[in-house]
Amino acid sequence: MQRRTNIFSETIRKLRRSTRRFSRGGGLKKLFSQFKDGLKRRDVRYIGASAGILIVVAVVVTLFITLLPPMPTASSAQIGAQADSLASAANVSVAVTPTPGALLITPPPTPTPSPTPVPTPTPMGINKGYEGPEVSEIQLRLMDLGYMDYDEPTTLYGPMTKNAVELFQKRNGLSVDGVVGQTTYDALMSDAALIYMVSEGAEGDDVQALQVRLRELGYIETATGYFGTDTTAAVTKFQQNNRLDVDGMIGPETKEMLYSEDAVPNAVSYGENSEVVKKFQQRLFKLGYLTTEPDGNFGHDTVAAVKLFQELNGLIADGYVGPQTRDLLMSSDAQPNAMTLGMRGDTVERVQNRLKKLGYLASVTGYYGSDTESAVRAFQKRNSLSSDGKVGKNTMTVLFSDSAKKAASTPVSSGGDTPTATSSPVYTSDGASVDRLIEIAMSRLGSRYVSGGKGPNTFDCSGFVYYCLNQAGIRQGYMTSKTWRSVSKYQEVSSLSNLRRGDIIVFKMGRSSGHVAIALGDGTMIHAGSTLGKVYISSYNTDYWKKTFYTAYRIF
Protein backbone atom coordinates (compact mmCIF):
# COMPACT_ATOMS: atom_id res chain seq x y z
CA MET A 1 0.00 0.00 0.00
CA GLN A 2 2.73 2.39 0.97
CA ARG A 3 4.64 1.60 -2.26
CA ARG A 4 1.63 2.36 -4.49
CA THR A 5 1.10 5.63 -2.69
CA ASN A 6 4.72 6.60 -3.29
CA ILE A 7 4.41 5.79 -7.07
CA PHE A 8 1.28 7.97 -7.33
CA SER A 9 2.94 10.89 -5.60
CA GLU A 10 6.03 10.66 -7.83
CA THR A 11 3.90 10.58 -11.01
CA ILE A 12 1.93 13.69 -10.00
CA ARG A 13 5.21 15.53 -9.36
CA LYS A 14 6.53 14.62 -12.84
CA LEU A 15 3.27 15.67 -14.54
CA ARG A 16 3.37 19.04 -12.78
CA ARG A 17 6.97 19.62 -13.91
CA SER A 18 6.14 18.72 -17.53
CA THR A 19 3.06 20.99 -17.54
CA ARG A 20 5.07 23.87 -16.18
CA ARG A 21 7.75 23.42 -18.85
CA PHE A 22 5.08 23.15 -21.60
CA SER A 23 3.35 26.28 -20.27
CA ARG A 24 6.61 28.23 -20.00
CA GLY A 25 7.39 27.28 -23.62
CA GLY A 26 3.94 28.58 -24.77
CA GLY A 27 2.87 25.19 -26.33
CA LEU A 28 -0.92 25.29 -25.68
CA LYS A 29 -1.14 29.01 -26.29
CA LYS A 30 0.59 28.61 -29.65
CA LEU A 31 -1.73 25.80 -30.68
CA PHE A 32 -4.85 27.83 -29.87
CA SER A 33 -3.36 30.87 -31.61
CA GLN A 34 -2.72 28.87 -34.80
CA PHE A 35 -6.23 27.43 -34.62
CA LYS A 36 -7.74 30.95 -34.30
CA ASP A 37 -5.61 32.29 -37.20
CA GLY A 38 -6.74 29.43 -39.39
CA LEU A 39 -10.38 30.21 -38.72
CA LYS A 40 -9.87 33.88 -39.53
CA ARG A 41 -8.13 33.13 -42.84
CA ARG A 42 -10.41 30.18 -43.46
CA ASP A 43 -7.21 28.21 -44.06
CA VAL A 44 -8.19 24.56 -43.88
CA ARG A 45 -4.59 23.48 -43.60
CA TYR A 46 -3.93 25.40 -40.31
CA ILE A 47 -7.35 24.51 -38.87
CA GLY A 48 -6.84 20.80 -39.50
CA ALA A 49 -3.33 20.65 -38.16
CA SER A 50 -4.17 22.55 -34.97
CA ALA A 51 -7.33 20.59 -34.27
CA GLY A 52 -5.52 17.31 -34.84
CA ILE A 53 -2.86 18.13 -32.30
CA LEU A 54 -5.44 19.21 -29.68
CA ILE A 55 -7.36 15.97 -30.17
CA VAL A 56 -4.18 13.93 -29.64
CA VAL A 57 -3.39 15.81 -26.39
CA ALA A 58 -6.90 15.20 -25.08
CA VAL A 59 -6.66 11.47 -25.85
CA VAL A 60 -3.28 11.15 -24.13
CA VAL A 61 -4.53 12.88 -20.95
CA THR A 62 -7.63 10.64 -20.87
CA LEU A 63 -5.55 7.48 -21.24
CA PHE A 64 -3.11 8.65 -18.51
CA ILE A 65 -5.87 9.22 -15.96
CA THR A 66 -7.57 5.90 -16.85
CA LEU A 67 -4.42 3.85 -16.45
CA LEU A 68 -3.41 5.39 -13.04
CA PRO A 69 -3.70 3.02 -9.99
CA PRO A 70 -6.55 3.73 -7.59
CA MET A 71 -5.88 6.16 -4.66
CA PRO A 72 -5.25 4.08 -1.51
CA THR A 73 -7.50 4.51 1.50
CA ALA A 74 -6.51 4.09 5.12
CA SER A 75 -8.19 3.45 8.40
CA SER A 76 -8.39 6.07 11.14
CA ALA A 77 -5.58 4.34 13.02
CA GLN A 78 -3.36 4.34 9.92
CA ILE A 79 -4.17 7.98 9.26
CA GLY A 80 -3.26 8.79 12.86
CA ALA A 81 0.03 6.95 12.57
CA GLN A 82 0.78 8.75 9.29
CA ALA A 83 -0.10 12.07 10.89
CA ASP A 84 2.21 11.42 13.83
CA SER A 85 5.02 10.53 11.45
CA LEU A 86 4.50 13.66 9.36
CA ALA A 87 4.21 15.83 12.45
CA SER A 88 7.41 14.43 13.90
CA ALA A 89 9.33 14.93 10.64
CA ALA A 90 8.00 18.42 9.91
CA ASN A 91 7.65 19.61 13.51
CA VAL A 92 4.00 20.59 12.91
CA SER A 93 0.76 19.88 14.63
CA VAL A 94 -1.57 17.50 12.71
CA ALA A 95 -5.32 17.20 13.37
CA VAL A 96 -7.01 13.96 12.33
CA THR A 97 -10.59 14.37 11.10
CA PRO A 98 -13.24 11.75 11.84
CA THR A 99 -13.44 10.92 8.10
CA PRO A 100 -10.79 8.25 7.20
CA GLY A 101 -8.33 9.37 4.60
CA ALA A 102 -8.51 13.07 5.43
CA LEU A 103 -5.63 15.00 7.05
CA LEU A 104 -5.74 18.53 8.35
CA ILE A 105 -2.30 20.05 8.80
CA THR A 106 -2.27 23.07 11.11
CA PRO A 107 0.49 25.69 11.26
CA PRO A 108 3.28 25.00 13.79
CA PRO A 109 2.86 26.73 17.16
CA THR A 110 5.14 29.53 18.27
CA PRO A 111 8.16 27.74 19.80
CA THR A 112 8.53 28.05 23.61
CA PRO A 113 11.97 29.37 24.65
CA SER A 114 14.13 26.65 26.23
CA PRO A 115 14.97 27.24 29.91
CA THR A 116 18.48 28.45 30.72
CA PRO A 117 20.57 25.33 31.35
CA VAL A 118 21.77 24.85 34.96
CA PRO A 119 25.56 24.47 35.01
CA THR A 120 26.91 21.22 36.40
CA PRO A 121 28.63 21.92 39.78
CA THR A 122 32.41 21.85 39.54
CA PRO A 123 33.82 19.08 41.73
CA MET A 124 35.54 20.44 44.87
CA GLY A 125 39.34 20.37 44.65
CA ILE A 126 40.83 23.06 46.91
CA ASN A 127 44.62 22.98 46.81
CA LYS A 128 47.61 25.06 47.89
CA GLY A 129 47.36 28.59 46.54
CA TYR A 130 43.57 28.62 46.30
CA GLU A 131 41.85 31.66 47.79
CA GLY A 132 38.19 31.80 48.76
CA PRO A 133 35.75 31.86 51.69
CA GLU A 134 35.66 28.06 51.83
CA VAL A 135 39.23 28.08 53.20
CA SER A 136 38.15 29.86 56.41
CA GLU A 137 35.57 27.18 57.08
CA ILE A 138 38.13 24.44 56.49
CA GLN A 139 40.72 26.09 58.76
CA LEU A 140 38.24 26.56 61.63
CA ARG A 141 37.25 22.91 61.42
CA LEU A 142 40.90 21.82 61.40
CA MET A 143 41.49 23.97 64.50
CA ASP A 144 38.52 22.43 66.30
CA LEU A 145 39.92 18.96 65.56
CA GLY A 146 43.44 19.91 66.68
CA TYR A 147 45.18 19.72 63.29
CA MET A 148 45.91 23.45 63.37
CA ASP A 149 46.61 25.64 66.39
CA TYR A 150 44.05 28.37 66.94
CA ASP A 151 44.54 31.57 64.98
CA GLU A 152 42.39 33.96 62.95
CA PRO A 153 41.23 32.07 59.85
CA THR A 154 42.16 33.35 56.39
CA THR A 155 40.85 32.83 52.87
CA LEU A 156 44.22 31.60 51.56
CA TYR A 157 44.99 27.88 51.32
CA GLY A 158 48.65 28.07 52.32
CA PRO A 159 51.30 25.45 53.21
CA MET A 160 50.22 25.19 56.88
CA THR A 161 46.63 24.45 55.85
CA LYS A 162 47.82 21.88 53.30
CA ASN A 163 50.00 20.21 55.93
CA ALA A 164 47.07 20.08 58.37
CA VAL A 165 44.84 18.55 55.68
CA GLU A 166 47.46 15.89 54.99
CA LEU A 167 47.60 15.02 58.70
CA PHE A 168 43.80 14.80 58.76
CA GLN A 169 43.72 12.58 55.68
CA LYS A 170 46.35 10.26 57.13
CA ARG A 171 44.60 10.04 60.50
CA ASN A 172 41.22 9.38 58.90
CA GLY A 173 42.33 6.76 56.37
CA LEU A 174 41.98 8.93 53.26
CA SER A 175 44.24 9.33 50.26
CA VAL A 176 46.98 11.73 51.40
CA ASP A 177 47.38 14.47 48.79
CA GLY A 178 46.69 17.69 50.73
CA VAL A 179 43.78 18.51 48.43
CA VAL A 180 40.30 19.09 49.83
CA GLY A 181 38.18 17.14 47.37
CA GLN A 182 34.56 16.23 48.03
CA THR A 183 35.48 13.06 49.92
CA THR A 184 37.93 14.86 52.21
CA TYR A 185 35.52 17.75 52.74
CA ASP A 186 32.65 15.43 53.69
CA ALA A 187 34.89 13.51 56.11
CA LEU A 188 36.24 16.75 57.63
CA MET A 189 32.78 18.12 58.33
CA SER A 190 31.42 14.81 59.55
CA ASP A 191 30.68 14.14 63.22
CA ALA A 192 32.79 11.00 62.80
CA ALA A 193 35.97 13.00 61.96
CA LEU A 194 38.88 11.83 64.15
CA ILE A 195 40.78 14.42 66.22
CA TYR A 196 44.50 15.03 65.75
CA MET A 197 46.83 12.62 67.50
CA VAL A 198 50.63 12.50 67.25
CA SER A 199 51.41 8.81 67.08
CA GLU A 200 54.06 6.29 66.12
CA GLY A 201 55.52 6.96 62.69
CA ALA A 202 55.12 10.75 62.86
CA GLU A 203 58.14 13.02 62.51
CA GLY A 204 58.98 16.69 62.41
CA ASP A 205 59.70 19.73 64.57
CA ASP A 206 56.43 19.36 66.49
CA VAL A 207 57.38 15.80 67.45
CA GLN A 208 60.79 16.95 68.64
CA ALA A 209 59.25 19.69 70.79
CA LEU A 210 57.03 17.13 72.50
CA GLN A 211 60.01 14.83 73.04
CA VAL A 212 61.99 17.67 74.65
CA ARG A 213 59.22 18.05 77.22
CA LEU A 214 59.06 14.28 77.80
CA ARG A 215 62.81 14.35 78.38
CA GLU A 216 62.47 17.23 80.85
CA LEU A 217 59.98 15.13 82.78
CA GLY A 218 62.32 12.13 82.73
CA TYR A 219 60.35 9.86 80.40
CA ILE A 220 62.78 9.72 77.45
CA GLU A 221 66.51 10.10 76.95
CA THR A 222 66.78 11.94 73.65
CA ALA A 223 64.66 14.09 71.32
CA THR A 224 65.11 12.89 67.74
CA GLY A 225 62.07 14.33 65.96
CA TYR A 226 60.85 10.81 65.08
CA PHE A 227 57.98 9.18 66.98
CA GLY A 228 59.26 5.64 67.37
CA THR A 229 58.65 2.80 69.83
CA ASP A 230 60.66 4.54 72.58
CA THR A 231 58.44 7.62 72.33
CA THR A 232 55.30 5.46 72.36
CA ALA A 233 56.53 3.77 75.56
CA ALA A 234 57.38 7.16 77.13
CA VAL A 235 53.95 8.62 76.30
CA THR A 236 52.22 5.50 77.62
CA LYS A 237 54.05 5.77 80.94
CA PHE A 238 53.34 9.50 81.16
CA GLN A 239 49.62 8.88 80.61
CA GLN A 240 49.60 6.18 83.29
CA ASN A 241 51.32 8.41 85.84
CA ASN A 242 48.99 11.33 85.08
CA ARG A 243 45.76 9.28 85.06
CA LEU A 244 44.98 9.92 81.41
CA ASP A 245 43.49 7.58 78.83
CA VAL A 246 46.37 5.30 77.85
CA ASP A 247 46.80 4.97 74.09
CA GLY A 248 50.45 5.91 73.51
CA MET A 249 49.44 8.91 71.37
CA ILE A 250 49.58 12.64 72.11
CA GLY A 251 46.19 14.25 71.67
CA PRO A 252 44.86 17.57 73.03
CA GLU A 253 44.44 16.38 76.65
CA THR A 254 47.83 14.65 76.85
CA LYS A 255 49.55 17.65 75.27
CA GLU A 256 47.92 20.09 77.68
CA MET A 257 48.92 17.98 80.68
CA LEU A 258 52.42 17.55 79.28
CA TYR A 259 53.04 21.31 79.50
CA SER A 260 51.09 21.84 82.70
CA GLU A 261 52.62 22.67 86.06
CA ASP A 262 50.56 19.76 87.38
CA ALA A 263 52.32 17.18 85.19
CA VAL A 264 53.60 14.21 87.20
CA PRO A 265 57.17 13.46 86.08
CA ASN A 266 59.37 10.42 86.10
CA ALA A 267 61.97 12.45 88.01
CA VAL A 268 63.20 13.50 91.43
CA SER A 269 60.15 14.91 93.19
CA TYR A 270 58.28 15.58 96.40
CA GLY A 271 58.65 12.92 99.09
CA GLU A 272 61.99 11.53 97.95
CA ASN A 273 64.85 11.34 100.46
CA SER A 274 68.33 10.73 99.12
CA GLU A 275 71.86 12.06 98.68
CA VAL A 276 70.89 13.15 95.16
CA VAL A 277 68.16 15.36 96.63
CA LYS A 278 70.66 16.81 99.12
CA LYS A 279 73.04 17.69 96.28
CA PHE A 280 70.28 19.59 94.49
CA GLN A 281 69.31 21.35 97.73
CA GLN A 282 72.87 22.52 98.32
CA ARG A 283 72.96 24.07 94.85
CA LEU A 284 69.58 25.76 95.38
CA PHE A 285 70.79 27.11 98.72
CA LYS A 286 73.93 28.56 97.15
CA LEU A 287 71.90 30.29 94.44
CA GLY A 288 69.61 31.81 97.05
CA TYR A 289 66.44 29.78 96.30
CA LEU A 290 66.39 27.52 99.36
CA THR A 291 66.32 29.17 102.78
CA THR A 292 66.48 26.03 104.95
CA GLU A 293 69.48 23.77 105.56
CA PRO A 294 69.86 20.98 102.97
CA ASP A 295 68.86 17.65 104.56
CA GLY A 296 68.16 15.30 101.60
CA ASN A 297 64.38 15.39 102.12
CA PHE A 298 62.38 16.69 99.12
CA GLY A 299 59.74 18.59 101.11
CA HIS A 300 57.49 21.59 100.51
CA ASP A 301 60.32 24.11 100.90
CA THR A 302 62.37 22.30 98.23
CA VAL A 303 59.37 22.20 95.87
CA ALA A 304 58.95 25.99 96.29
CA ALA A 305 62.67 26.57 95.71
CA VAL A 306 62.70 24.41 92.56
CA LYS A 307 59.62 26.19 91.16
CA LEU A 308 61.18 29.61 91.74
CA PHE A 309 64.42 28.47 90.12
CA GLN A 310 62.51 27.16 87.10
CA GLU A 311 60.49 30.33 86.74
CA LEU A 312 63.47 32.67 86.89
CA ASN A 313 65.45 30.46 84.54
CA GLY A 314 62.81 30.17 81.84
CA LEU A 315 61.63 26.62 82.51
CA ILE A 316 58.17 25.23 83.17
CA ALA A 317 57.63 25.75 86.88
CA ASP A 318 56.41 22.27 87.87
CA GLY A 319 58.57 21.76 91.00
CA TYR A 320 60.25 18.57 89.71
CA VAL A 321 63.94 18.05 89.02
CA GLY A 322 63.92 16.45 85.60
CA PRO A 323 66.89 16.21 83.21
CA GLN A 324 66.55 19.77 81.85
CA THR A 325 66.11 21.36 85.29
CA ARG A 326 68.93 19.24 86.68
CA ASP A 327 71.36 20.14 83.88
CA LEU A 328 70.67 23.88 84.15
CA LEU A 329 70.68 23.88 87.96
CA MET A 330 74.13 22.33 88.12
CA SER A 331 75.58 24.50 85.31
CA SER A 332 77.34 27.86 85.39
CA ASP A 333 74.40 29.33 83.41
CA ALA A 334 72.03 29.00 86.35
CA GLN A 335 70.62 32.39 87.32
CA PRO A 336 70.68 33.14 91.05
CA ASN A 337 67.53 34.06 92.92
CA ALA A 338 66.62 37.70 92.51
CA MET A 339 63.51 39.80 92.51
CA THR A 340 62.77 41.18 89.10
CA LEU A 341 60.10 42.75 86.90
CA GLY A 342 56.63 41.28 87.25
CA MET A 343 56.98 39.89 90.77
CA ARG A 344 54.67 40.88 93.59
CA GLY A 345 54.18 40.01 97.26
CA ASP A 346 55.33 40.76 100.78
CA THR A 347 59.06 40.51 99.98
CA VAL A 348 58.65 42.99 97.12
CA GLU A 349 56.80 45.34 99.45
CA ARG A 350 59.57 45.05 102.06
CA VAL A 351 62.22 45.96 99.46
CA GLN A 352 60.13 48.91 98.26
CA ASN A 353 59.74 50.23 101.81
CA ARG A 354 63.51 50.17 102.23
CA LEU A 355 64.07 51.92 98.88
CA LYS A 356 61.51 54.56 99.84
CA LYS A 357 63.21 55.17 103.19
CA LEU A 358 66.54 55.66 101.39
CA GLY A 359 64.95 58.12 98.96
CA TYR A 360 65.00 55.96 95.79
CA LEU A 361 61.27 55.27 95.44
CA ALA A 362 58.20 57.44 96.02
CA SER A 363 55.50 54.82 96.68
CA VAL A 364 55.01 51.23 97.85
CA THR A 365 52.69 48.96 95.85
CA GLY A 366 53.86 45.39 96.39
CA TYR A 367 54.35 45.06 92.62
CA TYR A 368 57.83 44.98 91.08
CA GLY A 369 57.29 47.26 88.11
CA SER A 370 59.50 49.55 86.08
CA ASP A 371 59.58 52.18 88.88
CA THR A 372 61.02 49.64 91.30
CA GLU A 373 63.49 48.38 88.70
CA SER A 374 64.71 51.94 88.05
CA ALA A 375 65.01 52.58 91.79
CA VAL A 376 67.05 49.39 92.26
CA ARG A 377 69.37 50.38 89.40
CA ALA A 378 69.91 53.78 90.96
CA PHE A 379 70.65 52.17 94.36
CA GLN A 380 73.10 49.69 92.81
CA LYS A 381 75.03 52.43 90.97
CA ARG A 382 75.13 54.59 94.09
CA ASN A 383 76.44 51.67 96.15
CA SER A 384 78.96 50.33 93.58
CA LEU A 385 77.02 47.14 92.77
CA SER A 386 76.35 45.50 89.42
CA SER A 387 73.48 47.53 87.98
CA ASP A 388 70.99 44.98 86.61
CA GLY A 389 67.79 46.19 88.28
CA LYS A 390 67.32 42.89 90.12
CA VAL A 391 67.44 42.32 93.85
CA GLY A 392 69.73 39.36 94.30
CA LYS A 393 71.60 38.14 97.35
CA ASN A 394 74.33 40.80 97.23
CA THR A 395 71.95 43.68 96.53
CA MET A 396 69.65 42.52 99.32
CA THR A 397 72.54 42.38 101.81
CA VAL A 398 73.75 45.89 101.02
CA LEU A 399 70.19 47.31 100.82
CA PHE A 400 69.39 46.33 104.40
CA SER A 401 72.82 47.15 105.82
CA ASP A 402 73.68 50.21 107.87
CA SER A 403 76.18 51.24 105.21
CA ALA A 404 73.57 51.59 102.44
CA LYS A 405 73.89 55.01 100.79
CA LYS A 406 70.88 57.24 100.41
CA ALA A 407 69.72 58.61 97.07
CA ALA A 408 71.38 61.76 95.78
CA SER A 409 68.32 62.87 93.77
CA THR A 410 64.47 62.89 93.71
CA PRO A 411 62.91 59.42 94.13
CA VAL A 412 61.49 57.65 91.11
CA SER A 413 57.74 58.07 90.65
CA SER A 414 56.16 57.79 87.24
CA GLY A 415 53.35 55.31 87.66
CA GLY A 416 55.35 52.32 86.43
CA ASP A 417 54.59 50.27 89.54
CA THR A 418 50.86 50.94 89.42
CA PRO A 419 50.03 50.33 85.76
CA THR A 420 46.63 51.60 84.71
CA ALA A 421 44.87 52.06 81.42
CA THR A 422 45.61 55.78 81.37
CA SER A 423 49.21 55.86 82.62
CA SER A 424 52.02 56.27 80.12
CA PRO A 425 54.52 53.45 79.60
CA VAL A 426 57.82 53.78 81.42
CA TYR A 427 61.02 52.79 79.63
CA THR A 428 64.26 51.96 81.37
CA SER A 429 67.53 53.15 79.91
CA ASP A 430 68.93 49.63 79.63
CA GLY A 431 68.00 46.08 80.55
CA ALA A 432 64.35 44.99 80.43
CA SER A 433 62.02 47.50 78.83
CA VAL A 434 59.05 47.80 76.50
CA ASP A 435 61.36 48.98 73.71
CA ARG A 436 63.64 46.00 74.22
CA LEU A 437 60.71 43.56 74.18
CA ILE A 438 59.30 45.04 70.96
CA GLU A 439 62.74 45.13 69.36
CA ILE A 440 63.27 41.42 70.04
CA ALA A 441 59.78 40.52 68.86
CA MET A 442 60.22 42.45 65.59
CA SER A 443 63.57 40.74 64.97
CA ARG A 444 61.70 37.41 64.76
CA LEU A 445 59.17 38.69 62.21
CA GLY A 446 58.63 36.06 59.50
CA SER A 447 60.09 33.18 61.54
CA ARG A 448 58.47 29.83 60.80
CA TYR A 449 55.54 28.56 62.87
CA VAL A 450 56.01 25.13 64.49
CA SER A 451 53.73 23.68 67.13
CA GLY A 452 55.70 23.58 70.41
CA GLY A 453 58.50 25.78 69.03
CA LYS A 454 60.24 28.08 71.52
CA GLY A 455 62.83 29.74 69.31
CA PRO A 456 65.15 31.05 68.23
CA ASN A 457 63.92 30.43 64.67
CA THR A 458 60.69 28.45 65.07
CA PHE A 459 57.76 29.29 67.35
CA ASP A 460 54.20 28.62 68.29
CA CYS A 461 52.21 31.45 69.89
CA SER A 462 53.12 30.77 73.53
CA GLY A 463 56.70 29.85 72.64
CA PHE A 464 57.07 33.21 70.87
CA VAL A 465 55.91 35.20 73.93
CA TYR A 466 58.10 33.06 76.21
CA TYR A 467 61.18 33.63 74.04
CA CYS A 468 60.69 37.39 73.69
CA LEU A 469 60.11 37.99 77.39
CA ASN A 470 63.20 36.05 78.42
CA GLN A 471 65.38 37.65 75.75
CA ALA A 472 64.17 41.05 76.97
CA GLY A 473 65.28 40.27 80.51
CA ILE A 474 61.97 39.10 81.98
CA ARG A 475 62.57 35.70 83.57
CA GLN A 476 59.30 34.04 82.70
CA GLY A 477 58.76 30.29 82.70
CA TYR A 478 57.14 28.70 79.69
CA MET A 479 53.34 28.66 79.82
CA THR A 480 50.78 27.36 77.36
CA SER A 481 48.05 29.67 76.11
CA LYS A 482 45.70 28.03 78.61
CA THR A 483 48.07 28.60 81.54
CA TRP A 484 48.36 32.28 80.58
CA ARG A 485 44.68 32.70 81.52
CA SER A 486 45.40 32.40 85.22
CA VAL A 487 48.60 34.42 85.74
CA SER A 488 48.61 36.37 89.01
CA LYS A 489 51.99 38.10 89.14
CA TYR A 490 51.29 40.69 86.42
CA GLN A 491 48.79 43.54 86.33
CA GLU A 492 45.66 42.39 84.50
CA VAL A 493 44.04 44.46 81.71
CA SER A 494 40.44 43.50 81.05
CA SER A 495 39.68 45.41 77.85
CA LEU A 496 41.15 45.53 74.34
CA SER A 497 40.58 49.28 74.29
CA ASN A 498 42.94 49.71 77.26
CA LEU A 499 45.92 47.86 75.75
CA ARG A 500 49.27 49.51 75.20
CA ARG A 501 52.68 48.53 73.83
CA GLY A 502 54.28 45.52 75.48
CA ASP A 503 51.10 44.06 76.99
CA ILE A 504 50.61 40.31 76.61
CA ILE A 505 47.19 39.56 75.06
CA VAL A 506 45.41 36.30 75.87
CA PHE A 507 42.63 34.83 73.72
CA LYS A 508 40.42 31.88 74.57
CA MET A 509 39.09 29.35 72.03
CA GLY A 510 37.27 26.45 73.61
CA ARG A 511 37.87 24.83 76.98
CA SER A 512 41.58 24.15 76.70
CA SER A 513 42.83 26.09 73.69
CA GLY A 514 43.79 29.67 73.06
CA HIS A 515 46.30 32.11 71.65
CA VAL A 516 48.73 34.73 73.00
CA ALA A 517 50.33 37.77 71.39
CA ILE A 518 52.33 40.92 72.16
CA ALA A 519 50.61 44.30 71.73
CA LEU A 520 52.44 46.80 69.51
CA GLY A 521 50.09 49.74 70.02
CA ASP A 522 47.68 51.39 67.58
CA GLY A 523 45.44 48.33 67.56
CA THR A 524 48.10 45.93 66.28
CA MET A 525 49.89 42.91 67.71
CA ILE A 526 52.76 40.60 66.79
CA HIS A 527 52.33 36.87 67.19
CA ALA A 528 53.15 33.44 65.79
CA GLY A 529 50.13 32.16 63.86
CA SER A 530 49.27 28.80 62.37
CA THR A 531 47.15 30.01 59.44
CA LEU A 532 49.98 32.02 57.85
CA GLY A 533 52.62 29.70 59.28
CA LYS A 534 54.91 32.43 60.60
CA VAL A 535 55.40 35.33 63.02
CA TYR A 536 53.39 38.25 61.67
CA ILE A 537 51.66 41.53 62.58
CA SER A 538 47.90 41.94 62.48
CA SER A 539 45.07 43.98 63.97
CA TYR A 540 43.40 42.74 67.15
CA ASN A 541 40.27 44.79 66.43
CA THR A 542 38.74 42.28 64.01
CA ASP A 543 35.49 40.51 64.87
CA TYR A 544 37.35 37.25 65.43
CA TRP A 545 39.82 38.62 67.98
CA LYS A 546 37.19 40.74 69.72
CA LYS A 547 35.04 37.64 70.12
CA THR A 548 37.86 35.48 71.52
CA PHE A 549 39.63 38.07 73.71
CA TYR A 550 40.01 36.80 77.28
CA THR A 551 42.40 39.11 79.15
CA ALA A 552 45.79 40.85 78.95
CA TYR A 553 48.74 41.45 81.26
CA ARG A 554 50.91 44.51 81.72
CA ILE A 555 54.53 43.51 82.23
CA PHE A 556 56.08 47.01 82.43
CATH classification of 275-329 is 1.10.101.10, yes or no?
yes
Return the pLDDT at 93: 45
Q: Architecture of 434-554 per CATH?
A: Alpha-Beta Complex (3.90)
Q: Which of 527, 535, 548, 549 is catalytic?
A: 527
What pLDDT is attached to residue 294?
94
CA distance 118 to 39: 81
What's the pTM value of the predicted model, to 2 decimals?
0.62
Say if residues 337 and 393 touch (Cβ distance below 8 Å).
yes
Pick the CATH number of 205-258 from 3.40.718.10, 2.60.120.10, 3.40.1110.10, 1.10.101.10: 1.10.101.10
pLDDT at residue 107, rounded to an integer: 57
Whether 515 is catalytic is: yes
- At 94, the amino acid letter reads V
* From 145, 207, 339, 461, the catalytic residue: 461
* Whether 138 contacts 187, CB under 8 Å: no
CATH number of 133-189: 1.10.101.10
- CATH fold of 338-418 reads Muramoyl-pentapeptide Carboxypeptidase; domain 1 (1.10.101)
Q: How far is CA 492 from CA 57, 197, 372, in A?
A: 124, 34, 18
Q: Where are the domains of the chain?
A: 2-67, 76-106, 133-189, 205-258, 275-329, 338-418, 434-554
Catalytic (active site) residue 468: no
Query: Which secondary-structure segment (H or E) carries 2?
Result: helix 2-24
> Tens of pLDDT along the chain (556 residues)?
555 555 545 555 554 555 555 455 455 555 556 555 655 555 555 555 555 655 655 655 565 555 555 555 545 455 455 545 544 544 444 444 455 544 455 555 666 666 665 554 445 789 888 999 999 999 999 999 989 989 999 999 999 999 999 999 999 999 999 999 999 999 999 999 999 999 999 888 889 989 998 998 889 989 999 999 999 999 999 999 999 999 999 988 898 889 887 888 888 888 999 999 999 999 999 998 887 899 999 999 999 899 989 988 888 888 999 888 999 999 999 988 888 877 777 778 889 999 999 999 999 988 888 889 899 999 999 999 999 888 988 898 899 999 999 998 767 655 566 544 333 333 333 456 899 999 999 999 999 998 888 889 999 999 999 999 988 888 788 888 888 998 887 889 999 999 999 999 999 987 778 999 999 999 999 999 999 999 999 999 999 999 999 999 998 8
Q: Is 461 a catalytic residue?
A: yes
User: In CATH terms, are 133-189 and 434-554 the same topology?
Assistant: no
* Strand ranges for 170-314 from DSSP E: 180-181
Contact status, residue 158 vs residue 533, Cβ threshold 8 Å? yes
Catalytic-role residue among 500, 515, 534, 554: 515
